[in-house]
Structure 1
Amino acid sequence: MGRSSCVLRRAKLACDASSMDNATEFTKRLVELLRSERHAMAEFLVALAEFDRRGLWRQRGHTSLFSFLHRELKLSAGSAQLRKTAAELIQRYPAVEGALREGKLCLSSVCELAKVVTTDNCSEILPRFFGLSSRDAAAVAVSIRPVENPPRREIVVPVRSAAPVVASRDAAQAAPAQVISFHAHEVAPESCRSEPVPALLQPPFDPAPAPKSSSVDWLDGDQARMHLTVSKAFLKKLEAARDALSHSMPGASRETILEAALDELLAERDRRKGLTARPQMKPRPSTRPGRHIPAHVRREVWARDGGRCTFVLASGECCGSTHRLELDHIVPRACGGVSTVDNLRIRCKGHNLEEARRVFGDALVDAYAGTGGGRGAPLLGAAEAHRLTRSATPASSTGALPRRGSGGPPRNAAAAAGTS
Structure 2
Amino acid sequence: MNHDQSNAPIAARPAVLPLSDRVNEAMAIARRGVDELLIESEFAQKLARSEQSGQPLRIKLGLDPTAPDLHLGHTVVLNKMRQLQDLGHQVIFLIGDFTSMIGDPSGRNATRPPLTREQIEVNAKTYFAQASLVLDPERTEIRYNSEWCDKLGSRGMIQLASRYTVARMMERDDFTKRFRDGTPISVHEFLYPLMQGYDSVELKADLELGGTDQKFNLLVGRELQKDWGQEPQCILTMPLLEGLDGVEKMSKSKGNYIGITEPANNMFGKVMSISDTMMWRYFDLLSFRSIAEIAGFKAEVEAGRNPRDLKVALAQEIVTRFHSQQAAEDALTDFVNRSKGGIPDDIPAISLSGAPLGIGQLLKQANLCASTSEALRMVEQGGVRIDGAVISDKGLKVEAGEFVLQVGKRKFARVTLA
TM value normalised by structure 2: 0.21
Larger radius of gyration: 1
- Greater strand share, structure number: 2
